[in-house]
Homo-oligomer: A and B are copies of this chain.
């Protein structure tokens, strides 16, 4: 298959059909289109058109479409739907997706929507899920799962499973619980298929099963599931009772969001924005970092003002300030990015001290090579060996300090419980610019004996 590619023509056709209220043409046109693709179409429509389409299509399809929409588009559409209409959509969804959508609604609507859900068991499960923080295992899990009691026999199992499977999109595992609903283990489908129908569950189940606590951090769950190649993991409460399960597709979303967030932070974008967001939203995400950079630049200008007396005799020193700032920034970002990734992947071993020493040795090696190039270039350019030497020695010092700051800052933030990813990007470049220029002039002054 090739994934659906939304074209301007297709979009124009849909808009035209909506305008002319060609319901049956719309229905047959979208019949074979995947809900994730319909969501892409709707993201591009205006609020009235979007609502029209959601109301027109079958709710077993539109409910899935709703889960895939951009948050602001979904909000606009739900505003146009009655509590009863929203409830109808939610009945079609798994509890985790339903809870995610309800969680976005204003508090006064939530109550009404829930009371309109006719399947009371489903409503209760959704309300249960609303209690959990969205960045926790509880916030990721769904209530839909297949569980059997350890006292049952295989025949009863299969009968129960058929009933439960009705509500479960994908059966990953059959969980075994005791009378108190405490998770005991799991049953493999293979064993169930091959066991005699009078065999007891307690004799054929696998007593070892990985699980996560309902309060576990979502990122941690993602790490566990991807490290151990799990496609689903049961979630238990404080006393070991099975309360839900998390599937790998939700984890894929967590991993992607996490990577995007780190990437955006490294690029100096502080909120989750996309290229198609408004100029205002994009400005709000970008301007704070630029202002930080501006103040860094003003600080650097202030430092250079303090070395004003050097400008008449050693103007060349000032020509190299962008180079010094750039090198300090680049080395800092490289160092911090490696540490941030190491922290995210849990593969930093050994002490902080050793890591700092290693990074400074690495910076020293890079610094020596770069300084050698710079020395030769500057010497030939201006024919003044002492100045060239001063600039090159400064560069080494600046690079070593930048490596130190780039390594230390994320480790320090992480220790203090702050996301180390904010130490990449503009934060590290700005502070390294200032430190770099200060060190540069200070060492140059020393070497030149001014």
Contacts and interface: CB of A to CB of B under 8 A. Distances in A.
Interface stretch (A20-28, A54-62, A108-116, A254-262): A254-262
A297 B327 contact: yes
A287 interface: yes
A330 B429 contact: yes
A274 interface: yes
A358 interface: yes
Interface string A282-297: 1100110111011011
Given A248-B249, A369-B287, A325 B325 contact: yes
Nearest to A169: B229
How many residues of A sit at the interface, in one of the four size bands?
35 or more
Contacts of A308: 315
Contacts of A412: none
Given A162-B193, A249-B248, A259-B263, A330 B1 contact: no
Contacts of A170: 231
A322 B300 contact: yes
A153 interface: no
A12 to B, nearest CB: 12
Contacts of A255: 252, 255-256, 259
Contacts of A269: 334, 337-338
A377 B296 CA distance: 13
A207 interface: no
Interface of A: 1, 3, 5-6, 8, 34, 36, 40, 44, 158, 161-162, 165, 170-171, 189-190, 193-194, 210-212, 220, 223-224, 226-229, 231, 247-249, 251-253, 255-256, 259-260, 262-264, 266-269, 273-276, 279, 282-283, 286-287, 289-291, 293-294, 296-298, 300-301, 304-305, 308, 311-312, 315-316, 318-327, 329-331, 333-334, 336-339, 341-342, 345-350, 355, 358, 361-362, 365-366, 369-370, 373-374, 377, 424-426, 429-430, 433, 437
19 contacts: A8-B349, A34-B228, A36-B228, A44-B349, A231-B247, A231-B248, A248-B249, A259-B260, A275-B347, A279-B362, A290-B331, A294-B370, A297-B320, A297-B322, A301-B319, A304-B318, A311-B311, A322-B433, A330-B426
Closest 8 CB pairs of A and B: A297-B323, A267-B337, A259-B259, A275-B342, A301-B319, A322-B325, A304-B319, A300-B322
